Amino acid sequence: MEKINVKKADGKLGVLVVGVGGAVASTFVVGTLAVRKGLAKPIGSITQLANIRLGKKEENRFPKIKDVVPLADLNDIVFGGWDIFEDNVYEAAKHAEVLEQKDLDGVKDELVAIKPMKAAFLQEYVKRLHGTWVKEAGTKWDMMEQIREDIRNFKAKNNCSRLVVIWAASTEVYIPMSEVHMDLAKFEKAMKENSPEIAPSMLYSYAAISEGVPFINGAPALTVDMPAIWELSKQKNVPICGKDFKTGQTMMKTVLSPMLKTRMLGLSGWFSTNILGNRDGEVLDDPDSFKTKEVSKLSVIDTILEKDLYPELYSNIYHKVRINYYPPRKDNKEGWDNIDIYGWMGYPMQLKVDFLCRDSILAAPLCLDLVLLADLAQRCGFSGIQKWLSFYFKSPMHTLETQPEHDLFVQYRMLKDKLRNIIGEESVEYID
């Protein structure tokens, strides 16, 4: 197989995080800085810890991904970003209460130096938050231009050769795809006319791509997942990916659902509920923001189980998702799944899962991987939707004519095969 001509990862890689003071983002930043100082291990990061099989099995070639794929060096990363609160990342991470003080103190000087730029924020799109460090502009187009200027200034000030923008901010209210989102010219006109169908997250995606910067959407909103932005990403030759980081409960669904289908076990109902007390939980306490998350989470089971192909097993599933804001838990989320299944001769059985997880701890390594892989995609000359990164998302992006792949193990093979392709190695016949 011919090896792809990958540009070298020379110089600094600027990582601009939207919501850099949030729990997920600050945990990601602290952890990355700690790893490169030898103070922590990058547990959960595939790019840093996973091996990859090259060649035939009997050749016994299983190097680490980071040793054979030309990824950016962690030491070359420079962090920045935007937030609706003025706190530097050290102060923000303390407020988030995800990490222990000793972990913050190990990289305190670096964290204090990361001060957020004013965010593009409009109250009606995230009703439960009240931003104090926000941009002012006459139109959404003007606000987008301010973001573009921020990107250019950060790149110049920090002497970065490349940038990546990642959305790790709160979930916006639900905005269904409409005509405004189907065409680039209409989308640009809507920004200039302050259309309510243009959310702040869309300003970031348009601005980043216009500056030739890859964009990663870690939330379930449209943001970058629309034909207008796909068109722009192709024009600018920029890779994009999303949406909604796959962390706790949905990760379990992408593991358990394939098990049911491969064993031809039926499914009657799947009830999921969560409690969490971080900023994300507070935002999702608003029904309009929860609707955005609900749409993302509900699509997983139906897509994996293929009810049209197996109507006798999956045509009548009752699927319910609940998220409850419970401040005492802070970032320590608990997700309960009650799964009613049936087997031979229709006899019922149950699965019960209680996952006590740490939302930001699960999301942080995904952020690191996605930043490194989006930068790799850019240096490979890839553009548009990066389906091979579906592994990392609850609701993987796809064209209007195709279906997303949700099966975690199929996604994992897609990811590794793409990496093999990039370095000129053959695909393998099974998951490694």
> Which tens digit of pLDDT belongs to each residue from 28-78?
999 999 999 999 999 999 999 999 999 988 889 999 999 999 999 999 999
Among 78-87, 120-129, 196-205, the least confident range: 120-129
pLDDT at 137: 97
The span from the CA of 6 to the CA of 63, in Å, is 19
Domains 12-245+361-422 and 249-359 share a fold: no
Q: In what order do the strands lie in the sheet with 215-217?
A: 117-118, 77-83, 12-18, 160-167, 215-217, 239-242, 384-385
Average pLDDT over residues 75-101: 97
User: Amino acid letter at 99?
Assistant: L
As a whole number, mean pLDDT of residues 168-186 equals 95
Q: How many residues does the chain have?
A: 432
CATH class of 249-359: alpha beta
What pLDDT does 1 receive?
60
Most trustworthy range by pLDDT among 128-132, 139-143, 218-222, 280-284: 139-143
Res 3 pLDDT > 90: no
Architecture of domain 12-245+361-422: 3-Layer(aba) Sandwich (3.40)
- Confidence band for 362, pLDDT divided at 50, 70 and 90: very high
- Whether 356 has a pLDDT exceeding 80, the answer reads yes
> What integer best gives the mean pLDDT of the chain?
94
Q: Using 50, 70 and 90 to split pLDDT, how confident is the model at 2?
A: low
Averaged over 22-31, what is the pLDDT? 97
Structure confidence at residue 26 (pLDDT): 98
Question: Which pLDDT band holds residue 278 (cuts at 50, 70, 90)?
Answer: confident
The number of beta carbons lying within 10 Å of the beta carbon of residue 107 is: 23
**N- to C-terminal Cα distance for the chain?**
19
Domain spans of the chain, in order of start: 12-245+361-422, 249-359
* % the chain with pLDDT above 70: 98
Banded model confidence at residue 302, pLDDT cuts 50, 70, 90: confident
Q: Three-state SS for 164?
A: strand
> What's the average model confidence in pLDDT over 136-146?
98
Q: What is the pTM of this model?
A: 0.93
Q: How confident is the model at residue 323 (pLDDT cuts 50, 70, 90)?
A: confident
What Å distances lie between residue 354 and 108, 238, 264, 305, 336, CA to CA?
Answer: 35, 40, 24, 22, 5
- Alpha-carbon distance of 218 to 377, in angstroms, equals 17
Tell me how far CA of residue 22 lies from CA of 98, 160, 166, 203, in angstroms: 10, 24, 13, 19
Predicted confidence (pLDDT) at residue 159 exceeds the cutoff of 70: yes
Per-residue pLDDT at 277: 82
- pLDDT for position 189: 98
The model's pLDDT over 244-253, given as tens digits with 9 standing for 90+, comes to: 999 988 899 9
pLDDT at position 296: 64
